[in-house]
Each structure stands twice: as C-alpha cells, then as structure tokens.
Amino acid sequence: MHRPVHIALISMFLHLVAHPWAAAEEARPPNVVFIAVDDLNDWLGCMETHPMVKTPHIDALAARGTLFTNAHSNAVLCNPSRVSLMIGMRPSSTGIYGLRPWLRDVPEFAGLATLPQHFANHGYRTLTAGKVHHEWRRPGPDETHVEFEVAGPAGGLTSRPPEKLIGETPFGNHPLMDWGVWPPDNDDTKTGDYQVAAWAVDQITSSPEDDDRPYFLAAGFFFPHVPCYATQKWFDLYPDDESILPEIPDDDRAGSPRSSWWMHWALPEPRLRWLRENDQHVNLVRSYLACISFIDSLVGKIVAAVDESGGADNTIIVLWSDHGYHLGEKEITGKNSLWARSTRVPLIFAGPGITPGQDCGRPAELLDVYPTLTKLARLPGPAHTLEGLSLVPWLRDADTPRDQPAISTHNQGNHAVISEEWRYIRYVDGSEELYDIRNDPHEWNNVASEKPGLLHEMRGHLPAVDRGPAPGSAHRILTYYDGVPVWEGMPIGEDDPVPHDTP
C-alpha cells in the first residue's frame, strides 16, 4: 500500500532536515569557489587566536559552513605546500621541498592531473586568477599541461614605494622584506588582490550563456605575504602600540634543539632581535593584521557574488592558506618551522553537503582538500593515488573520530605529527620535541623527555616514504648526509653561531 502523498512529503522533509546533504546528492554537480590566501596564519576571529584581529567576512563564511580548527599545511613553504595540495601527495613522497622545482619540471609528475585538471576532465569549466599554483599558470614542458581553462589577472604586487618603507634589512636586504602603508592614496583598487577579487566576482555573476557546465573557480590572494602593504584605512583598525604583539617569552626556544635552526638557517626574513632593535615589531604585526583585514574584505566580495548569482545553494566554497607565519614567535619571522605558528592554517568548507556552524577540532591536512572536493562533487578519484583523507564525514558531523594525525614536513627528515592533544616534532638529526597543545598551545614546554611511551607512538606516524630532494631542487633546501647539515649548498659547522643579523 502506498502512503498518502502528503505523508511521503513530510517524511522527505524530515529526512532532509536531519540530513541536509541528502538533497545535494541528487542535484546538478556543484560549482566550486576555491580561495587561496598566501602566508595567512591562524589569526582569524573565528579561530580565536589574536584578540584584536578583525575578519568579519571570513568569520561569516565559517559560520555558514565547517571550520577545521586543527588543520595544518603539509609543507611550510609556498611551492611544496601548493604542489602537495594540488596533487594530493606528501612532500616526503615527491621530494619537492623548496621553491624549485615547479611540479611540471619533474618528469615523473609532469602528467599528473592536478585538482582543477581533474575537475576539467569531468566536465567542469576551470578558471583562475592570482596565486594558486606557486608558478601561477605556467604550462608544462610540452606546453600541453595548461592548469586552467580560463586565466584572469595575475594579481600580486602592482606597485611599490620608491624606496623600502622600513629601510635596509639583514640577510641581503631582500626587496620583499618591507611593510607599511602603501599605496598612500587609500585606493585599494590599484592592488593586484583587489583586481583578482573583482575578476572573480565578474566571472561568478556573469557566466557565459552558451556554457552550462559547472565551474571550478580559483582565486589566489597574495597578501598578507610580505611586503605587507595595505592602505591607511586597514591600519586604522589596529592600535599602533605593543598591545597588538603576540606573547613571546624570553626563553621561547629554550627547549628546542640546535637542529631546529637548520631549517631556517639564513633567510631574508628578519629575526625577532632585529625587529626589536630597529623598532619594527609593532609595525610588522600591525601591517600583517591590516593585510589580513583587507583580504577579509575581498573574501566578502566573492562570497557576496556567489549569493547574488543565485547559485549559493549549489556552490561549494573552500578557503585555505598555504601555511602559517611567525611574527616573532620562536625568535623568527616568516615560515619554515614545524611549530603551530607555521603549520596551522585556516581551512573552511561551506555549501551543499556541509553542516553549517561547525567547528571541527579533529586533525586535518591540506592534503585532504583534493579527495574532499572530489567526493563532494561526486567525481571518481584521479588515476594517481591520493594520500589524504576525504573530510566529508567531518563536514557532516564534526565529532566523527579520526585516528590519523596531520603531518607537516620541511625538507627530508623533518616532520611534525599533530593529533588533537599533541605535537611531535622529529628533526633530521633525530632530535625530538613534544608539546601538550591543549594545555600549552604556545608550545613553550618541550616534554619529550617525560613521555617515552607517547614518543614511540607518535614516531609510528612518521611518513614511511621520506625522499631526498627532487632533481632541480633549490631555494631553502636543507640536506643532512653523513652527519653534516648543508643549508643552500653550504655546510653548517658544529660551532657555527646561529645567524641573527647577517648571513
């Protein structure tokens, strides 16, 4: 006997209320808006890490979807992180650790289908603007591996002051090592990131009438990457005093081995000591926060465009950063560490099939983005093996157990293993750190010597494959063969002092 129609409809309604992803599973393939932010650490209002940061639009995006509060980059440098996410493989599996090589310059990976290519192979129109790949949209060696079908503005820096705003910096006075108010006319429209957002908005709201394919649109923002330039109105959101500084104890690295310095032995990013001696610490932190709020406003424009297009109910929005950034913590600025400030990143999913208003504290990796979006779009997997996990179970129920930790890597032999309670770091010389991240979120107390059993357990999660640098590797490469650390081709002697102000 058939149930009355009205009873069947009520039953269906109750099912959809209880299981909001069910309707999405019968719908047209979802659009994907893929927002990448360069060098954005966990300083977001929704992540409750910096008490003054103002990110209302990203916070609103998190509220309409699921925020992973314990998400981590698999590499702590732009190129290897983006390669890892875009192909779904660990840096320790590819050997891509530095700013070179580009993915397509490594013969064994030249033909892999990246995430957007996989969507293109299954009927999606793919579009990009700004910094998504580290090499932006460069084709492969045979000029056939076009990464996206449609390419918009390159973004990035569109203007610079006549001279660096902060003067000369150590380690070679790198031109990117600068921050402050720029441009001075308060006109955000001149910036590359604004142009990327404007282009994305236009693409979302004016899709071609003769192309009814779903789209995969990637927008990559350059800031808050250095130079941290923002117009005055964003600086005005933050006080110009020490109240904005992160808390940094005098012995911040007291429990860390000497080998922790090898991974950022001599870099253009100034050390904490230089910031303090040159009265630049407040200026840098304020500039970084100003850039975050500027980018937040652009994220808001893109999300608003999705809503205005009428396609919000069938559009997945994912926001991520390639790695974090130190603002003086552990005596450094920049990335290239295996502590939380460098590995922990925002990761937000919103849209059909995703439970809104969730914070998920289970470990997650950027490596998980590829299988997650593939699953949400109901696509088969690519030809190559993905090493991440689909996050769909946690997008539906944040309390779903997860036994696999997150793993971050910086050069061969240096890994962090992050669970819900612990961060374990293993350096290439065998030195170890262990932090109780629930009770010591700043990672000030290395308790490795107190937890031999836990150390043994965490070691079991280290990558089984730990390749040396891929052919053509360069820029921020550390090797350790025959007991000798070599940074950028230069051996580090046992008694060499840690560089602070000069190479």
* Catalytic annotation, residues: 78, 134
Residue among 215, 255, 229, 462 at smallest CA distance from 339: 255
* Cα 93 from Cα 469, distance rounded (Å): 10
Residue among 475, 463, 466 at smallest CA distance from 94: 466
- Determine which helix (DSSP H) or strand (DSSP E) holds 221, and give its type and residue range: strand 215-221
Q: How many helices (H) and strands (E) does the chain have?
A: 14, 21
Reduced to 3 states (helix: H, G, I; strand: E, B; else coil), residue 219 is: strand
For the stretch 463-492, what's the b/e string if a residue is b when 16 or more beta carbons lie within 10 angstroms of its beta carbon? beebeebbeebeebbbbbeeeebbbeeeeb
Q: What long-range pairs does 332-335 form, CB within 8 A, spacing at least 24? A: 332/264, 332/269, 332/271, 332/272, 333/269, 333/270, 333/271, 333/272, 333/275, 333/284, 334/264, 334/267, 334/269, 335/39, 335/76, 335/77
Question: Do 407 and 416 meet the contact criterion of CB atoms below 8 Å apart?
Answer: yes
* Cα 410 from Cα 98, distance rounded (Å): 9
Burial class (CB in 10 A: 0-12, 13-18, 19+), 143: exposed
Burial class (CB in 10 A: 0-12, 13-18, 19+), 112: buried
DSSP 357-385: TEEE-S-EEGGGHHHHHHHHTTPPP-SSP
Angle, vertex CA 55, rays to CA 242 and CA 214, nearest 5: 150
Could you tell me which residues are beta bridge partners of residue 35?
219, 319
Burial class (CB in 10 A: 0-12, 13-18, 19+), 498: middle
Query: To the nearest 5 percent, what fractions of the chain are helix, strand and coil?
Result: 30, 20, 50
Tokens of 273: 């000591």
Tokens of 333: 């600025």
Reduced to 3 states (helix: H, G, I; strand: E, B; else coil), residue 10 is: helix
* Cα 34 from Cα 349, distance rounded (Å): 10
Residues 6+ apart with CB under 8 A from 208: none
